[in-house]
Structure 1
Amino acid sequence: MKINIRDAKELDLLLESLAFEIIQARILYRMYCGLIDDMQEYEDDMNHSPGFWHYTLTSLRETSFLGLCRIYDQHAEGLNLHNLLETIRDNPQMFATDEFKKRLKDNKFVESLAAESRTPQSQNIAEHLRYASEENPIVKKLIVWRNNIVAHRGAKLSLGRKDILNERQIPEEEINELLDQALKIFNHYSYLFKASTWSSNAIGEDDYKNCLQLLRAGILQKKQTFLEAARANQKTCADD
């Protein structure tokens, strides 16, 4: 369902808010997958604090999945990709060339940017709406997860109906597809609206590698300190 907005400034606020959800979900899921990939190399180091890493991985997975559910939520009153697309579809006047020039009046390239058509094409919107709806089999599965384990815990699931989720597994490649397509669709309209897009990469999304390297260095230093203390103790005993 479209969101009622008064002007282009409010549409810009919606764009910024949904951009945050999309980018954060992507970063958190990449961190989760990166840690999983590096577990084999750093398994011994991480086993010094298994509880911490278990809850860190669980938090990254669940928070990224929550963000994904928000992006593809179908609730009529929420800000989600589907409702944003309907809002854009029903407010083509906000993409008019004159309005675009007003928004980018301080951009020295505004004239060349305005030379391109800024009007969203109805065919593209229809295609993107279908993808962001339960007509998309992956989104349909995601909504089942949202309704049974993410937004709240379903009673039937708690009573043993494991098939509700077991029959609707969402593998890593489908999660990545949803995240990639959300950003691609979002950037398409963000570029039309204000000649601005969000990068698929974010500064700091691989900072976890520094943590793992420092963890290993700290463990090695601790072992070295222990060995030096043991040798010193042996020498003291021998001197006595």
Structure 2
Amino acid sequence: MGFKINNDEEMDRLLTGLANDIVDAHVHYKMHDDLITALQAAPEVARESNNFWHMTISAHVKLSQAMLTRAYDQEHQSLHLKSWLIAIRDNPDMFSAASFRERMKENPYVDSLAEDYRIPDRAQLEADIVLCSSSDPLVRILMYQRNNCGAHLSAKLTAAGVKISDQFPLTYADFKRLLERSLTIIHRYSTLFVATSYSTNVVGRKDFETVFVAVKRMLEQNQVEKDAFIAKAMKAEN
């Protein structure tokens, strides 16, 4: 299983592509959580556009699921955590001190960075491969859901009335464990390869708060106008 890597540039592109999927999975899950927390704290905002917020929250979690299932995919020629880790195992020379120095020669701190041992620990690498394989219980469930109601919809199970999420449940806690695992693993080897880690906080993560402010102001203004109308009507009666 796996694919051939010819040089450091290809390994770096693979790292970037995989990291993008993992970061996107985290970003959208955080935005899903942020919106739920914010709407619970401001039910008056939620009531103004219930359907919109429901669909927005659903879109964020579905996109997070799509990105995470791609990171844990098992297809032989695709880029995912397992195939990438196998490629690392098959190309240990790319992590040598000499390769690292050449790769990072434009970095002014290359000498101090190169002092650290950069060859992946073989036992840890093998353990990480297992954690990203379908033999792992959580990965197996994630892939089962992906193959039967995510990337594909099982005709057999649908016709039988089987609800896949009930038959093979993956809780939010399980999903978050897989999210955290993916980031831990990508960071373990990205720091060895290019001394880089990735942020899962996106600029503008809280932009939705401006919408909340605007809706609250509108509601306050509506209440002021309503109170004024009632007061005027009561005065006219008197």
Calculate the TM-score normalised by the size of structure 1. Answer: 0.90
Contact 2:149/2:164 (8 A) holds in 1? no
List structure 1 runs of 4+ shifted beyond 4 angstroms. 225-228, 231-235
Name the residue aligned to 2:102.
102
Q: What letter matches 1:143 in structure 2?
A: M
Distance 2:212 2:149 in 1: 31
Map residues 48-67 of structure 1 onto 2, 5 A cutoff: 48-67=48-67
Distance 1:238 1:215 in 2: 31
Q: Identify if the C-alpha distance between structure 1 residues 180 and 206 changes in structure 2 by more than 3 Å, giving closer, same or farther.
A: farther
Contact 2:148/2:154 (8 A) holds in 1? yes
Q: Deviations over 1:214-240 (max 9, x none)?
A: 332233234434554x369749x949x
Q: Deviations over 1:30-77 (max 9, x none)?
A: 111222233322222211112211211111111111111111111112
**SS of residue matched to 1:47:** helix
Q: Deviations over 1:86-115 (max 9, x none)?
A: 111111111111111111112121111111
Q: Identify if the C-alpha distance between structure 1 residues 4 and 215 changes in structure 2 by more than 3 Å, giving closer, same or farther.
A: farther
Q: Deviations over 1:133-192 (max 9, x none)?
A: 112101100001101111021112321442543132111111111111101100110000
Shift, 1:213, TM fit: 3.2
Structure 2: give runs of 5+ residues left out of the alignment: none
Distance 1:205 1:178 in 2: 22
Aligned length: 237
Map residues 45-124 of structure 1 onto 2, 5 A cutoff: 45-124=45-124
Map residues 170-189 of structure 1 onto 2, 5 A cutoff: 170-189=170-189
Contact 2:39/2:45 (8 A) holds in 1? no
Name the residue aligned to 2:42.
42
Structure 1: give runs of 5+ residues left out of the alignment: none
Map residues 121-136 of structure 1 onto 2, 5 A cutoff: 121-136=121-136
Distance 1:176 1:213 in 2: 30
Contact 1:2/1:90 (8 A) holds in 2? no
Shift, 1:199, TM fit: 2.6
Higher mean C-alpha displacement, 148-157 vs 131-140: 148-157
Distance 1:90 1:185 in 2: 17
Contact 2:27/2:200 (8 A) holds in 1? no
Higher mean C-alpha displacement, 163-172 vs 101-110: 163-172
Name the residue aligned to 1:28.
28
Q: Percent identity?
A: 32
**SS of residue matched to 2:6:** coil
Q: Identify if the C-alpha distance between structure 1 residues 194 and 206 changes in structure 2 by more than 3 Å, giving closer, same or farther.
A: same
- For the aligned residues, what is the CA RMSD? 2.1
